[in-house]
Structure 1
Amino acid sequence: MPRLPFARRPLARSIAALIPVTAALFCTSAYAQETSTSNDTVVVTATALKVDTPLVETPRPVSSVDREELETRNVQQLDETFRYRAGVLSGHYGSDNNTDWFKVRGFDQSTYQDGLRIYREGFYQWLPEPYGLERIEVFKGPSSILYGEAPPGGLINAVSKRPTETPQGEVNLQLGNRNHRQVGIDTSGPLGESDDVRYRLVGLYKERDGDLNATDNERYYFAPSLAVDLSEDTSVTFLASVQKDDGVPVNGFKLPYGTVENTPFGHIDPQTNLSEPGYDRDKRTQWGIGYELRHAINDTWSFEQDLRYSELDLELRSTYALSMIDERRASRGLVYRDGSIDSWTIDNRMVGTWYGDRTENTLLLGVDYQNLSLRGQEGDNYAFGEPIDIFNPTYGNFTPIAEEDLLTREIDKEQTGLYAQNQLRIDDRWVLLGGVRYDQAETDNRNQTAGTTQRSDDDQVSWSGGAMYLGENGVNPYVSYTESFDPVGRVDDAGDLYDPREGRQWEIGAKLAPFDWDGYVTAAVFDLEETNTLVTSPAGFQVQEGKRTSQGFELEGVGYITDALKVTAAYTYTDARLEGDERAPLIPRHQASTWLDYAFTGGALNGVTLGGGVRYVGSTVDTSVADNTAVDSYTLVDAMVGYEFADGWQAQVNVNNLTDKEYVASCEYWCYYGESRSVIGSVKYSW
């Protein structure tokens, strides 16, 4: 089993630093061996900082999951990634087949792919396919300093698979419950005899029924990439992908009545579908193309440019339960969207590094630009069809939404950002980090049907700073301050644009990476605040009210106890509150998880790997009702077994929610059952 990587930084007194997995998984697939005298540089590409820096040496909280762990746990959708990391909540809306849901430190987050923002406006959701990813990173807390507009919780960055210098490939076949079927192909290597030009082709077909009756999704995915070394100083990597999804959306909206509340008729079965499966539809096509350019100007300065153009076409009809009208029946609503969204994103950076007798200084100067256009028809019917029996639903009692009930909306959004960040390292002991960013954002929201236009023009200066001490024993304490700025491109129920949300965070922590242990432990205490926050009203609409705070503690570790036994563990305490000191909905105070991997390397079980995990999510509250309904805590068990039975061949079985526990994951006006048991078997051939 691979060992955890580490990195070396040369300076006046060159020292070796073991990199924690929270940062070290940013590296390439090659692993370094520790030596005490070598002056070779092995650095980690730190997406969080946009410069090459071992994150064990920077006051920023980051966790990462690499390709090996994605395969070990057979992650099927993005929001399954961080189940065994601190500070991240997922699964609170159950298993959704058309949206990835995360909460980071009690707040929403923004999603990026390859360091560039993925636009997710309203129901237009770009969905990264996990099979096409090399790793997934979470940057916790406000991150506007380098990425511009972002919620205060942080950001998720999905890193695409890239061409490799060594020829390699695999074919992966999967079968599972809920009619899961998947075939994936991944091949990479040099084009021709030289490795100056390299390619990678990733393709996948997947279909599976949803976790509600009569729901499903079918996906086609193809991602080619090409890396070209134009010279010793210049390289460019072209990245492209196209993905097509077609199915019936999993609409898990249920009401407290029949889920967390008792009724004369018992509880609603978790798989009961209260939508219109014969009418509902989720059809989307997304594609993107771009490049990453790297050019070394001289020994001090380099230029980097990332660019992507993307499009998303969506046809969505989604019916949901709205409110109870008697002891058995609920009224229903309908969401209708038919449109497209296209965006340009470009990020330009100059990075300079120079050395003094006692110092190393890295200066980052950048300018980025984001442009978003949304065009489409939309409708929201809050009295759709006849009421439905929530305990024994029958379908078809509705009239399809009419053309005259739709409005045509256009949203145009532009943002330009200028940023600077400086990292100063003194005597191999102190790291000082500071940054500033200026953003200018414009949003036009036009209701073409009504002939009205709303415009917001916002600008913001964001600051960040931090300091870390690098201990001789591998214990590195730090303190940091960060800010965020988020112009919300959506409208409220009256069709008005929301005001920008602003966030700020203080954090004190430590990163422990002892030199004699293959692993890491991180600990952090944070205090986070957002103004102009969005909350769900008693009527079920998103409204903007006051401020929201989150204070907490996180503890996370990954390491090898023996050569064969690897342990991943995390604990999170989060006290999230709304204006008036009311506890925030959805967010548990306590979360804890542990995952163990054991690889047999001899005897009758040679080639067998066993894995298992336990996830605990504490109780939450629903503040949209008068009595603040409590939602019970739950504990889930996951397991896997793998077997390398021949050269290049591996079989594996993964089971999530091993005991098929039935539980309500959360409530916020609506309630959501958690995902039922998932069983997937796979066979992979690699070369």
Structure 2
Amino acid sequence: MKTYTFLFLAVLCNISFLRAQATSISGKVTDPDGIPLIGANIKLTQDSGTTADYEGNYKFSNIPSGDYILSVSYLGFEPQQKQITLDANEKLKINFTLTPSSEQLQEVEITGRSEKSYKNNLTFAATKTATPIKDIPQAVSYVTKEVFADQQAYRVNDIIKNISGVNMYSYYDDFTFRGFRSGDTYINGLRVVGLFGPEPLLANIERVEVIKGPASAMFGNSIPGGVMNRVTKKPLEQDRKAINFTLGSFNTLRTTADFTGPINDSKTLLYRLNLAYENSDSFRDLQEKKSYVIAPSISFLPTDKTRINFDLVITRFDGKLDRGQPIFGATSGSDIYSTPVSFAIGQTSDFHKTDVAYSTLSLNHQFSKSLSFNASYIKYVAQEDLEEHRTSNQFALDANGDPIPTLMGMQVITRKGQTIADNLSSYFVYKTNTGALEHKIVAGFDYNAQQQPVGNAQSFARGYLLQGGGASTRAADFPNFLRDENGNPIPNVPHFDLQNPTYNVARLSDYIFTNSPADPTKYYTYGFYVQDQIKWQKFQFLLGGRQEYYNDISNFDQPDEQITTQHKFLPRVGLVYGVNPDINLYGTYTESFQPQGVAALNNPQAGGPFDPVTAYMVETGAKGEFFNKRLAANLAVYYIENNNILVNANDTTNPELLRQRGQEQSKGIELDVNGRILPNLSITANYAYNEAIISESDDPDEVNTRKENAPLHQGGIFGKYTFTEKNLEGLGITLGSNFVGKRNTLEPTLQLPSYVVMDAGVSYKVDRFNIRFLVNNVFDKTHWVGGYSYTRLYPGTPRNYLLSVGYTF
């Protein structure tokens, strides 16, 4: 018996010994700087794979001896594989250092961003070259498609809450940057038509960037607050396919599809196709949206020196133009809660249809390691068809000419038109050394043109009916207005009763219209610029200058064509100091330039000519990367001065008279944080303190007042935590909150209240399915995201939910 017991114990010991000596393969996956590549894919066989942990480590245990091919891949890096032979009881340690794929080295964004993170490392628009954001001496904020997905955002307006210092002005493509109202629209660094209507869709957008402050040295005439650039999705070298279906509050139905990968075996021809469709209502009366996006993209990489990309985007918007919520009265005592936030003015038959098509062709050719040529061209065509009942921005008049606070004056506008934009950006990049100095020199030429061809026209029905026929909006005609039995003027378009609203199919034949064909117009700009990014030890210098020429044409291609030309030299100076490998300090000086349009310059009624709007900015700050470079934090302190702002003079005898207000100032502090704190915890957070005031004016009541829709404080945070425990694996939770302080409107006596909104959601990923459920505005906070006046406020969306199911294959 003792013998058997001894043999049994010996066998157990041998088994334990063999287990302890079992074969295994382990190692670490890093980039060339030694930074762990979290989530890198490691495959040993077709059926055996794992991912690298937070430190980049991986391990395979209890592997039979034999020959294997160990392969490692990570998006944005060249894959590697090693052939190994594993003997019995052997423990191999094999490390991998992956090099960035060539798509990371392009100067023009030809192939797509492969990262899957809230953090973005590079920007192409801020310096015209692929430059790490940390090395740019100017604040650059961004939101990536990964944030879009976790917040179930569908439009640009849904995601600007993630960007410091950016605030909605209205429901349109309309924002304030550091207190200054937004201007032109940019796609892939190229200026296109600002629609100022439909909110841009995100289905084909890789990320949204905001280059803070004046950017005229790069883009020519631009506003002083910043430039928003939308970067479209480009083809990837990896096969990726995904579809997503979403339903939610207000009868929301959406679907998107994203397909990308190589077309041929050599991967010299890549494709991407983005599709999207939406059919939804709104919490706002009468408002609905039917829209779609078709966006194919092809990248051709014939050699390692030449890259070509072609994008085509076709978008249709079909809905109504929401002009906002009116409230009772027009005095300092008016109650902002006097009408429900769902309350919209309009009629059932109103419509707004916009068709947008644009195509982009980009080229990058590397002549040598030192010299490359880059060019991008975009053709953008927008067509609009509009019929709307909207406020006349005034309350109804009684028999004495006083406003009736519960009756809204109305007007009808019908409009058809087309706007065309062409933009060419071309430049050389030359890299060289002079002694201890490294140079990256950019020299280029830009051309941008926008035109409204013959055939654009609109018609108006507004004002009050006149005795003897016709209609007028002029206060001087008040004694001649046609009256009802109570002596009140009879409107051309019936007033809208704010207490008892009614909606009908409008009969436009009942109104008196004034036709207003638009004269064909065109403007074009061109500029020459030179920029040098210089590296010396821990210092990086950015020196640049642009000579800009702006040409505005009235009565384009007509016998009485008239051209107005303005020009300006625009400098840019920046300095970056590397405190250590993770933290940079920077400072910059830059200017902006905005010519006054030809309508203001050549209109005798406007009171011109007027000087161009000019601005400058001084900014300093710090940029850092933390948690193994997975989290980025940017801090900026700035001062902006804007001069010669053109506003309406509010002259009762001449409504077209304009005046230059004088000077505006904006100063503040901004903080943006994006990335991962833990492998399973991603966050995006921001805060902005912005004091934007009118500092000089010929109207003393304006001086030192805060600019409209420019809150003193605003910020927010959003995070996603994914459980890694075995029983909860694949489950994630999202939490977010954003706040906006009090804001002035265009009415001196009307102020929008501050608000805090909370969002919460849960997600579950199993196999290839990803299910997301999100509740926005959890506590159903009544709030306003922007506003013009008592007649046009823009309430935020009440509590709502979105449920999406996605599948990747």
TM > 0.5 fold call: yes
TM superposition shift of 1:342? 1.0
Change in Cα spacing, 1:534 to 1:597, as seen in structure 2 (3 Å) is farther
Does the aligned pair in 1 maintain the 2:564–2:598 contact within 8 Å?
A: no
Moved more, 503-512 or 526-535: 526-535
Residue 800 (structure 2) aligned to one of 678, 684, 687:
678
Match of 1:665 among 785, 789, 801: 785
Structure 1 residue matching 2:161: 3-state secondary structure: coil
Q: Which amino acid aligns with 1:487?
A: P
Distance 1:530 1:6 in 2: 47
Shift of 1:276: 2.4
Match of 2:138 among 31, 39, 60: 60
Q: Which residue of 1 aligns with 2:373?
A: 303
Q: 2:76 aligns with which of 30, 34, 38?
A: 30
Shift of 1:555: 1.6
Kept after mapping to 2: 8 A contact 1:364/1:421 = yes
- Asked if 1:523 corresponds to 2:596, the answer is no
Relative distance call for 1:664 and 1:234 in structure 2 (3 A) is closer
| AA of the residue aligned to 2:500 | N
Partner Cα distance (1:538, 1:675) in 2: 33
The match for 2:353 among 260, 283, 293 is: 283
Residue 491 of structure 1 and its aligned partner are, at CA, apart by: 4.3
Corresponding residue number in structure 2 for 1:354: 432
* Number of the residue aligned with 2:364: 294
Output the amino acid matched with 2:140.
Answer: V
Matched position secondary structure for 2:224 = coil
After superposition, the C-alpha distances for 1:139-198 in whole angstroms (9 at most, x for unaligned) are 111001111121111111111111111111111111111111112222111113221111
- Contact kept, 8 Å, 1:473 with 1:514, in 2: the verdict is no
Partner residue, 1:328: 406
Contact 1:83–1:615 under 8 Å retained in 2:
yes
8 A Cα contact 1:307 1:345, kept in partner: yes
Offset, 1:379: 3.6
CA 1:453 to 1:663, structure 2 compared with 1: closer, same or farther past 3 Å?
farther
Q: Which moved more, 1:235-244 or 1:370-379?
A: 370-379
Q: Percent identity?
A: 25
Q: Which residue of 1 aligns with 2:19?
A: none
Q: Bigger CA drift: 517-526 or 225-234?
A: 517-526
1:119 partnered with 2:165: no
Does the alignment pair 1:386 with 2:494? yes
Q: How many angstroms does 1:126 deviate by?
A: 7.3
Is the CA contact 1:100–1:127 (under 8 Å) kept in the aligned structure 2?
yes
2:278 pairs with 1:157: no
3-state SS of 1:635 partner = strand
Q: TM-score, normalised by structure 1?
A: 0.88
> Structure 1 residues 566 and 445 mapped into 2: Cα distance closer, same or farther (>3 Å)?
same
How has the CA–CA distance of structure 1 residues 497 and 651 changed in structure 2, closer, same or farther, with 3 Å as cutoff?
farther
Q: 1:50 aligns with which of 123, 128, 132?
A: 128
Q: Is the 8 A contact 2:410 2:462 kept in 1?
A: yes
1:577 aligns with 2:699: no
SS of structure 1 residue aligned to 2:586: strand
Aligned residue number for residue 554 of structure 2: 445
Q: What one-letter code is carried by the residue in structure 1 that aligns with 2:796? A: G
Give me the whole-angstrom Cα distance separating, in 2, the residues matched to 1:379 and 1:369: 33
| Cα pair distance change 1:289/1:434, threshold 3 Å | same
How far apart, in 2, do the equivalents of 1:382 and 1:261 lie? 28
2:77·2:100 contact (CA, 8 Å) conserved in 1? no
Aligned partner of 2:442 in structure 1 is: 364
2:773 counterpart (653, 665, 684): 653
Q: Give 2:769's aligned amino acid.
A: W
Q: Which amino acid aligns with 2:762?
A: V
Tell me which of 371, 386, 389 is aligned to 1:319. Answer: 389
Report what 1:24 is aligned to: none
SS in structure 2 at match of 1:480: strand
2:624 to 512, 515, 527: 512
Quote the Cα distance in structure 2 between the aligned partners of 1:156 and 1:418: 22
- By relative contact order (CA 8 Å, sep 6+), the higher-ranking structure is 1
In the alignment, which of 654, 662, 665 is matched to residue 546 of structure 1?
662
3-state SS, counterpart of residue 134 of structure 2: helix
Give ranges in structure 2 of 5+ residues lacking alignment: 1-28, 38-73, 80-94, 106-121, 397-403, 464-491, 697-702
Equivalent of 1:195 in 248, 267, 290:
267
Alpha-carbon distance in structure 2 between the residues aligned to 1:518 and 1:114:
25
Could you say which residue in structure 2 is the equivalent of 1:22?
A: none
Q: TM-score w.r.t. structure 2 length?
A: 0.75
Mean Cα displacement is larger for which, 673-682 or 125-134? 125-134
Aligned pair 1:100/2:220, yes or no? no
2:576 aligns with 468
Correspondence for 1:641 among 739, 754, 762:
762
Per-residue deviation, residues 198-223 of structure 1 (Å, max 9, x unmatched): 11111111111134211112112101
Encode CA deviations 1:534-583: one digit per residue, 9 max, x unaligned.
Answer: 45776999865222211111122234333322332211011111232222
Q: Distance in 2 between matches of 1:207 and 1:256?
A: 32
Structure 1: gaps (5+ residues): 9-13, 19-27
CA distance in 1, matches of 2:641, 2:276: 41
Distance (Å, rounded) in 2 between the aligned partners of 1:650 and 1:238: 31
Q: CA deviation at 1:664?
A: 3.1
Q: What does the per-residue CA deviation read over 1:444-480, in whole Å, with 9 as the maximum and x for residues that have no partner?
A: 233999x986643111111110111101252211110
CA contact (8 A) 2:394 2:409 kept: yes
1:589 counterpart residue number = 712
- Cα deviations by residue, 1:304-352 (Å, 9 ceiling, x for unpaired): 0001112111012233222223132111233432110112111001001
Taking structure 1 as reference, are residues 260 and 244 closer, same or farther at Cα in structure 2, changes over 3 Å only? farther
- SS state of the match for residue 56, structure 1? helix
Residue 128 of structure 1 deviates from its aligned partner by 3.8
Q: Please say if 1:436 is aligned against 2:545.
A: yes
SS of residue paired to 1:162: coil
8 Å Cα contact 1:256/1:671 also seen in 2: no
CA contact (8 A) 2:408 2:496 kept: yes
Counterpart of 2:515 (choices 401, 405, 416) is: 405
Describe how 1:204-353 pairs up with structure 2 within 5 A: 204-255=276-327, 257=329, 261-262=333-334, 267-278=338-349, 280-321=350-391, 322-325=393-396, 326-353=404-431
Instruction: Report if the CA contact (8 A) 2:207-2:230 is conserved.
Output: yes
Question: What residue in structure 1 maps to residue 113 of structure 2?
Answer: none
Aligned-partner residue type, residue 222 of structure 1: I
C-alpha spacing 1:257/1:685, structure 2 compared with 1 (3 Å): same
Look up the equivalent residue of 2:759 and give its one-letter code. D
Q: Cα RMSD between the aligned structures?
A: 3.2
Provide the C-alpha distance between the structure 2 equivalents of 1:57 and 1:15, rounded to a whole number of angstroms.
20
Further displaced range: 529-538 or 499-508? 529-538
Report the number of matched residues. Answer: 654
* Cα distance between partner residues in 2 of 1:293 and 1:317: 41
Q: Residues of 1 paired with 2:461 and 2:707: CA distance?
A: 28
1:284–1:559 Cα change, 3 Å: closer
Task: Please tell me whether the aligned partners of residues 149 and 486 of structure 1 are also in contact (alpha carbons under 8 angstroms).
Answer: yes
My pick for the range that moved more, 151-160 or 44-53, is 44-53
CA contact (8 A) 1:237 1:291 kept: yes
Deviation at 1:17, TM superposition (A): 13
Of the candidates 442, 448, 457, which is equivalent to residue 377 of structure 1?
457
Shift in Å, 1:362 = 0.4
Equivalent in the alignment of 2:526: 416
Shift in CA distance, 102/294, structure 1 to aligned 2, threshold 3 Å = same
1:11 corresponds to: none
User: Using the alignment, how far apart are the partners of 1:349 and 1:241 within structure 2?
Assistant: 25
| Amino acid in the other structure paired with 1:520 | A
